[in-house]
Chain A
Amino acid sequence: MDFQLTPEQVVLRKEFVDFFEAEMKHAPEGWIGGEEEVIATDEGWAFHKEMARKLGERGWIALAWPKEYGGQERPIMDQFMFNEVRGYYRSPGIDVFGVSMLAPTLLAAGTEEQKKEHLPYIARGERAWCQGWSEPDAGSDLANLSTRAIKEGDEYVLNGQKTWTTGAHYADWCFAVVRTDTASKRSRGLSFLLIDMKSPGITIRPLPNMVGEHMFNEVYFDNVRVPVKNRIGPENQGWAVTRAAMNFERSSAEFFAGSKRLVEEVVEFCKETKRDGEPLSKNPVVRHKLAAMVTKATVGLTWARQVAWIQHKGGLAVAEASAAKVFGSESGQQLTYMGCQLLGTHAQLKRGSHWAPLHGSLETEYQRCVGLNFGGGTSEIQRNVIAWEGLKLPRG
């Protein structure tokens, strides 16, 4: 057992740190990071695209991919370190849908032509993706989806509605699961399609979150024509394709690293802020709350490294990754809650107020963090996965 980074890892990590330390000085004023920050404003999106280009130039978007598709064939632990450092610096530049979801799917199930057509663009940070999975009646129960794709010659004709489509309003392409055999039920008869978002017949409606940020969308398909060659895997076998993409780094490292940063900022705030004539951090109640926050963030990051390690060694880490996800989102919620308690009355101040501590980041994160319990699989689904895969309990 050896928890120390190798000399090569130390060098690489420093390269990441130096890069993000320098580049994040150019972030838009008051930048607090997160997907919302990227997708909610044109300024955020422009910064994201700029960072994506720079990361792409360095080959960092596709660290663990095969070289022929723009990757560097680096081990998963390098990918983990990159995600961790990027998360800590709250840098945009990675399109999680393209990089973490579609690319592994293409690598596992795509044709050579499909890989060549998409992977290099993702690796260079040039093509933005959104995920067309959830529907109004198909959330956790994805197999209940009803968007239809009927084959006409060498095209499918799509009709239906997707929802919770993060970033659809900026995306160039969408990967979607749709029903190609309308006579079949549940997970049979589904296909995995790549849809050009410029196709005629697509309507996007914003679904603002409680902060008021435009991140989610409803996406309507009205006779949208998709070439059959844009199908990944065999027709009606889309369910298996959605399950194929497990071999990307799924430790939630960037999230835990972001939590670590948040805790550090709250600690600094409590050291610098006097209340009743004394720094907050000298108050025993505050000290203990801060230490509990440090503990939670540290345990999370340590667990994320464990998950990445299992993957690094070739394991799928199914239950482990689900644990990281649910632990991450719920501890994120607890940390923002505790952070707000420490900020006291000032916790309610929004970004833009010169009275707001930490740029108002906690007021925003307190609202954003609840959404993390749903995206990428609800907390309930993650716990089901732990029960089934980690504990081999019977499915109900």
Chain B
Amino acid sequence: MDLDLTEEQEMLKTMARDFLQKECPKSLVRELEESDQGYSEELWHKMAELGWMGLNLPDEYDGLGSTFMDLALLLEEMGRNILPSPFFSTVVLGAFAVMDGGTEEQKTEILPKLANGEIIMALAWLEPDGSYEPKSITTHAVASGDDYVINGTKLFVADASVADYLVAITRTKNSSSPEEGITLFLVDAKSPGVKCAIVPTIGLDKQCEVVFNDVRIPKKNMLGELDKGWSLAKRILMRGMVGKCAEMVGGAQATLDMANDYAKERVQYGKPIGSFQVIQHYLANMWIDVNTSRSITYEAAWRVSENLPCIQDVAIAKGWVNDAYNRVTERGIQVHGAIGTTRDHDMGLYYRRSKAAELAFGDTGFCEELIAQEREF
């Protein structure tokens, strides 16, 4: 048992924090939020040079061969700084989908380029009903000669607008069990019939509506087994959930730090407001939320990293951190007073992002139902 980060992990965190602080000031975050591109190519390539895209990929694909736990720590720093980039879509979701389900050919084609920052991926899972449940997968892929033909609408596809490849979760067979008959495909985003539009969201985080209209995909682009894709999808989901937790922990810590600093600087009635017990107790509650969130997230991330059974742990973590991060950003604004509600202030940025992160990869209700199923309620 060792609940401490290793020296290398501490170094990774510090290095990432320093890099992001320098390379991704809040002015850039805001600029990118307002842009269609949504990320900075220059920054993206610098991240690739640091080896971040291939952090978890094996050496043979130009990766660094680190653990998912390390990736979670990197995500924490990205969440702390709010890094607008398709990193999560590409690395946490796309790269692992290929690693888990891809053929050797697919891996060789995609992963080295991905590691070098030349490929952006996006995960097309949710549909207009917004549910992660298997029965909500209605986008159809039908065999036709050497191809599959995909038809359907995907929603909340983060970064599809800049992606080279989409991982599309489709239905290839109607069956009495909704988990049966699901297949994943690698879709070239430039394929004829793919239509992509950014939807305006609270996080201004480039989530898209993606319409597949008779999109022909070669059979060799199937990711994993025909009709048996649900288990692959679930593994993607677990990483997505715990990855979001890590980002949220970073964002919550940043919010607490800002509020704590402000409480020490802001003087009213002749004293720093941080000397008033009401403010101290708000901040103490935030401290508890941030720290319990981090410990529950690290354990869940470690379980994912070690390939141990993790569904319940991940669901508990996501459910808890969802609510904790929202509480923290809400109180963070309260400590700051009215200025925290303005468009120019960073508090609002974190407040909006906490809502976006809560809704990504399982809101609390979804997590609770997952716990209920795992515990056989």
User: A residues within 8 Å of B by Cβ?
Assistant: 1-6, 9, 77, 267, 270-271, 281-282, 284, 286-288, 290-292, 294-295, 298-300, 302-303, 305-306, 309, 313, 319-320, 323, 326-327, 380, 382-384, 386-388, 390-391, 393-396
Contacts and interface: CB of A to CB of B under 8 A. Distances in A.
A267 B377 contact: yes
Contact of A6 (B1, B6, B260): B1
A20 B368 CA distance: 31
A286 B288 CA distance: 27
A295 B3 CA distance: 20
Contact of A393 (B275, B288, B367, B372): B275
B132 interface: no
Contacts of A77: 1
Interface string B310-345: 000001100110000000000000000000000000
Interface in B340-377: 365, 367-369, 371-372, 375-377
Contact of B1 (A9, A326, A391): A9
A1 B5 contact: yes
Interface stretch (B113-121, B220-228, B291-299): B291-299
Shortest beta-carbon contacts, A-B, top 7: A387-B280, A291-B368, A386-B284, A383-B284, A291-B371, A281-B377, A287-B372
B280 A383 contact: yes
Contacts of B365: 288
Given A287-B372, A383-B281, A1 B288 contact: no
Given A1-B9, A290-B372, A291-B319, A393 B1 contact: no
Interface of B: 1-6, 9, 69, 260, 263-264, 271-272, 274-277, 279-281, 283-285, 287-288, 291-292, 295-296, 298-299, 302-303, 315-316, 319-320, 365, 367-369, 371-372, 375-377
Given A295-B319, A323-B288, A393 B280 contact: yes
A287 B320 contact: no
A287 B369 CA distance: 7
B336 to A, nearest CB: 15
Contacts of A9: 1
Contacts of A292: 319, 368
A387 B302 contact: no
A299 B292 contact: yes
Nearest to A288: B368
Given A291-B372, A387-B283, A396-B276, A1 B296 contact: no
Contacts of A326: 284, 288
B372 A309 contact: no
Contacts of B275: 393-396
Nearest to B295: A306
B264 A394 contact: yes
Contacts of B296: 298-299, 302-303
15 contacts: A1-B6, A1-B69, A3-B3, A267-B375, A290-B372, A298-B296, A299-B292, A299-B316, A303-B292, A319-B287, A323-B284, A323-B291, A382-B284, A391-B287, A396-B276
Given A5-B1, A306-B295, 6 more contacts: A6-B1, A267-B377, A288-B365, A299-B316, A303-B292, A393-B260
A309 B296 CA distance: 14
Contact of B260 (A391, A395, A396): A391
A393 B292 contact: no
A288 B376 CA distance: 13
Contact of A303 (B69, B295, B367): B295
A303 B291 contact: yes
B319 to A, nearest CB: 5
A282 B377 CA distance: 7
Contacts of B295: 302-303, 305-306
A396 B288 contact: no
A327 to B, nearest CB: 6
A3 B297 CA distance: 12
B233 to A, nearest CB: 22
A303 B320 CA distance: 13
Contact of B4 (A284, A313, A323): A313
Contacts of A287: 368-369, 372, 377
A272 B316 CA distance: 24
B320 A393 contact: no
**For B271, B367, B372, which residue has the most chain A Cβ atoms within 10 angstroms?**
B372
B6 A327 contact: no
Nearest to A304: B295
A3 B186 CA distance: 36
A274 to B, nearest CB: 14
B28 to A, nearest CB: 29
Contact of B375 (A294, A309, A390): A294
Nearest to A395: B275
A306 B3 contact: yes
A295 B284 contact: no
Contacts of B280: 383-384, 387-388, 391, 393, 396
**For B69, B316, B368, B377, which residue has the most chain A Cβ atoms within 10 angstroms?**
B377
Contact of B377 (A4, A271, A383, A390): A271
Nearest to A281: B377
